[in-house]
Structure 1
């Protein structure tokens, strides 16, 4: 962007002002187009008033006299900014009677083309001064659209450097913008970035053809073909830009009739590009004026879309108005003001290219901010939803998982157990369920109140949460009943863990609420067997917990390996227990 807007200032101190060659300061003549391989003699007479007629199927001669040359310096360079012709010959005539002819033809500009859509003709150094310059255009499309100037040699080189910097910076920004918008379209699945990427791509192609940057790679495209393609691309760009604008604004913020009218005018502008690009003769100036009026109407409609959407509260209109305002203003001014002499003959094309680069940068930043804001809002919603889901799986009093959350957390741990019925489980796949129940909890509620009972449960839950790990899941199943599911422990290790949990919970301090005394828990332990589901394991652990209660409470009982058909624990195996 710095190169794009600072380059013109770098050439502000150019040695001499440009001297423009127009139909009003030249004399003209018309002749038949020469046959291939042959040249024509100079016309016997040049007319110095009026506009030339009937040249589009012949040759137009323009003669620049001594008066115009005197304002351009001793060694002026002829710069021609129009390329819709078949061939161009430039003759330099000197006071000693000598003449030097230089020429280019459609598809072959040699080394005379310059960035910015220019063709340069340097007069050879002679001791004699220049007396006149004669230009011959073969099959010129439009004389009024010619842009030519005489530039001092040193200024021409400086201007060429500045123009190259500006065009290179603009094309680079447009290319990066196109790639970025296509990537953004894939990421957010929205039409607007896709149309914007297509518009930026079209502007890159147009800018490369207009500036003749493509001649670095395809020199045979020099001339009318590139100029015709530029007209088609410029009309297509207006259509793509309008689609980008309309799809960026939400439908509820834009009246349907206004959107349809804007798109209809854009389609007409885009369609006119086809016949205009193919025209080589006829009333081109008239059709160009018609297209210019349609573009002004389209700009007015697009501006109305932005204003209406803004007033209706469209965030997109507020975010993107700065991007579209600059190119709309540039295109509007170029439609009513002659800007052909700006930017050393680059005129409205260079202004449009610079404004397009500005729009691409602004839209890339604004769209990123807007979509990032939407992404942040979505992430916050997902976090809130996840928090709500997690809250639904947590016990509101203790913060431990409730039964629903416990079942969801332990489901993956049961995969190996359920999938291997009848097979032995190694220690890595072993599962142990510990069911814990607070001893004489009803007496605590009856004596000290339910608030004291809640406080006891909270204190026990905080201590129980210390054992939480990827392979150890604690939960409050309801009332005063807690659970721990442990994976990767054998029978002996599970018994030791249960004893450690029992003693740790029994050691909790409840004195501020209950006064002297101790709150104890009973623990029932069950080891999962191959093919067991949670229901089977729970009934086994519950039977062991029931046995712990009947053996005096405050103890651990681990269930035997056999469960009777009626759901009770077999008495053939001894219970292991401890505690007071």
Structure 2
């Protein structure tokens, strides 16, 4: 490679990560393309000597003179076209063990005659729907005559109703090289098709999780390219040999047009409507749709202006790809991450798809030509976009998780008292619902302690509201120490607190209430309000089946009122109408 080219490539690789990946892909493709001319001779159909005859071909046709100076007559598509490869066009290494590879299958019948120097002739034939053992992975037909001591003097090909001589590629090479190249071609195609299959499944599943259009279009593109690559490579003949020939080639062309439509829709919808001008999007999507509307019917033409129609569709394809490129660059400049990913992923496929017809048909990856380049480029694009979609999916998943955490935090804050950090009335009633439901079902016990800070108004009046807030916070800290799986504390409002005790510990509610009262009285509140003790009065009520929280609260509130009336700093259980209230003793 020239030094200037190496320096240029070095600058590209150093520029950015996407450029490194693209440069690496180009290097791989170049490395694959360069050695394909060894031990083989590629012969383009217009360079061969030819003759035409009607169908069926008269026996005298073989003896007629071939012309080597002009194109076949326009009517060859409806008749029989004879092509002759002279000995001068056959590589010396292939004259004793030749392999003839034909890279085109739009014909009704092909008869190949190998003529040797001793006058012997060997004929191999295939027809539409019956390729027998001649087909090979990579869209090729392989003809191997038996090895003979006499060298080849000519090869004659008789095509019946050949669709286009311009699309015909013929290679003559030695048998060992043909076997090696067929194996390498099969491995490349198999790997590319497997990647396309993975990309199809992955993007289809991603469309559901992201709820976006472009992964679905991308899945359509990958699936179409998977089908196109499999049919072009003739892999489908493993399970459906009768599809060999023209119909498969026509189906392949139709799928290619459909794939272009899917690809354009995927690339245009990925950045979002705001990233590109509406008019530009409509023009590109209209051209992409026209590729299918015009290309699919044209693909099934057997005669007529096939070459002209193919040229028109090729022009439409190039225009569509250029339009996609412009829209992606536009969206990229507007900061669309999806546009960056698609532009990087589509750089190589756009170049390949737009220039496939301009790539010399005698160049190409073990004879596969631009078709294998397209399959490899599609696999590259699918891999890159799968990685990009994975990053997007991970980012969206992270954002969704953060949003859920934020929402949960907001809900929790709405259930918490801002000053003390305890549950507020809403959070308290929500958290004790299961315990009260168990009581109503006869499967549990519960008791409610309702606390009120004694003489709290006096604290605010003498020491200020800041001191009052500090007292509430210190009381809350003491109550919070009693929180457990079966004890739920809360601040219900003002200086009023609550503690619900449920489960087995509900039976010891009076003892817990007394311990809580003592702990609050013993807490060092003197740092907050000197020379004034902080005590609480506690009303206790027990939950009973068939009663709501408001009933439990009303009973506890009534008991709390009795505790206040009896002198404060005490625990008073609720007394029913049939039993007198009993106060817990106040410590000395």
Q: Could you state the TM-score of these two structures normalised by the residue count of structure 2?
A: 0.89
Structure 1 position 211 matched with structure 2 position 233:
yes
- Say whether 1:225 aligns with 2:247: yes
**How far apart are 1:31 and its partner, in Å?**
2.1
Kindly state the Cα deviation for residue 123 of structure 1 after the two structures are TM-superposed.
2.7
Structure 1 residues 438-492: Cα deviation after superposition (integer angstroms, max 9, x where no partner): 2233344444443333223222212322333444321111222110122224763
Query: Which has the larger displacement, 460-469 or 446-455?
Result: 446-455
Q: How does 1:287-302 map to 2 (within 5 A)?
A: 287-302=309-324
Write out per-residue CA displacement over residues 170-189 of structure 1, whole angstroms, 9 at most, x where no aligned residue.
11111111111111111122
Q: Which of 80, 84, 92 is matched with 1:59 structurally?
A: 80
Give the distance between the partners of 1:578 and 1:340, measured in 2 at CA. 107
Match of 1:243 among 226, 244, 265: 265
Structure 1 unaligned segments of length 5 or more: list them. 563-569
Alignment of 1:149-228 (within 5 A): 149-228=171-250
What is aligned with 2:14? Answer: none
What do residues 309-337 of structure 1 show as CA deviations (whole Å, max 9, x unaligned)? 22233232123211122211111222444
1:414-563, aligned counterparts within 5 Å? 414-416=436-438, 420=440, 426=442, 428-489=443-504, 492-514=507-529, 518-562=533-577
How far, CA to CA, are the matches of 1:4 and 1:430 in structure 2? 76
Deviations along 1:333-357, one digit per CA (max 9) or x if unpaired, are 2244435521122112111111111
Deviation, 1:230, is 0.5
Q: What does 1:337-356 align with in structure 2 at a 5 Å threshold?
A: 337-338=359-360, 341-356=363-378
Structure-1 separation of matches of 2:411 and 2:299: 62
Give the direction of change, closer, same or farther, for the CA distance of 1:489–1:432 in structure 2 (3 Å limit): farther
Residues in 2 aligned to 1:287 and 1:25: alpha-carbon distance in whole angstroms: 23
Q: Structure 2 vs 1, CA of residues 3 and 78 (structure 1 numbering), >3 Å: closer, same or farther?
A: farther
Partners in 1 of 2:36 and 2:249 — Cα distance?
29
Number of the residue aligned with 1:92: 114
Instruction: Give the TM-score, by structure 1 length.
Output: 0.91
Question: Aligned partners of 1:4 and 1:310: how far apart in 2?
Answer: 23
- Change beyond 3 A, Cα 1:4–1:166: farther
Q: CA deviation at 1:72?
A: 5.5
Where structure 2 has 5 or more consecutive residues not aligned to the other structure, the ranges are: 1-20
SS of the equivalent of 1:55 reads: helix
Q: Which residue of the other structure, out of 68, 77, 83, is the alignment partner of 2:89?
A: 68
CA distance in 1, matches of 2:35, 2:229: 27
Structure 1 stretch 481-490 or stretch 257-266: which is displaced more?
A: 481-490
The alpha-carbon deviation at position 11 of structure 1 amounts to 9.3
Asked if the contact 1:56–1:141 (Cα under 8 Å) also holds between the matched residues in 2, the reply is yes
* Per-residue CA distance 1:107-133 (angstroms, 9 max, x = gap): 111111111100111131111111111
Residues 11 and 366 (structure 1), Cα distance of their counterparts in 2 relative to 1, 3 Å cut: closer
Matched with 1:46 is 66
Listed one character per residue, the Cα deviations across residues 264-302 of structure 1 (whole Å, up to 9, x for unaligned) are 111111112232222111121111111111111111111
| Structure 1 match to 2:7 | none
Instruction: Give the 3-state SS of the residue equivalent to 1:46 in structure 2.
Output: coil
Query: In structure 1, which of residues 559, 573, 580 is the aligned counterpart of residue 580 of structure 2?
Result: 573
Q: After superposition, what is the alpha-carbon deviation per residue over 1:84-143, rounded to whole angstroms, capped at 9, x for unaligned?
A: 001111111111111111111111111111111001111311111111111111111111
Question: In structure 2, how many angstroms separate the alpha carbons of the residues matched to 1:110 and 1:3?
Answer: 36
Q: Choose the corresponding residue for 1:18, options 30, 33, 40.
A: 40
* Mean Cα deviation higher: 9-18 or 535-544: 9-18
Residue 164 of structure 2: aligned partner: 142
Q: For 2:32 and 2:358, how far apart are their aligned partners in 1? A: 28
More helix by share: 2
Corresponding pairs, count: 563
Q: 1:367 & 1:392 partners in 2: Cα distance? A: 37
Q: Are residues 489 and 558 of structure 1, via their aligned partners in 2, closer, same or farther at CA, if it must alter by over 3 Å?
A: farther
Q: CA deviation at 1:505?
A: 2.8
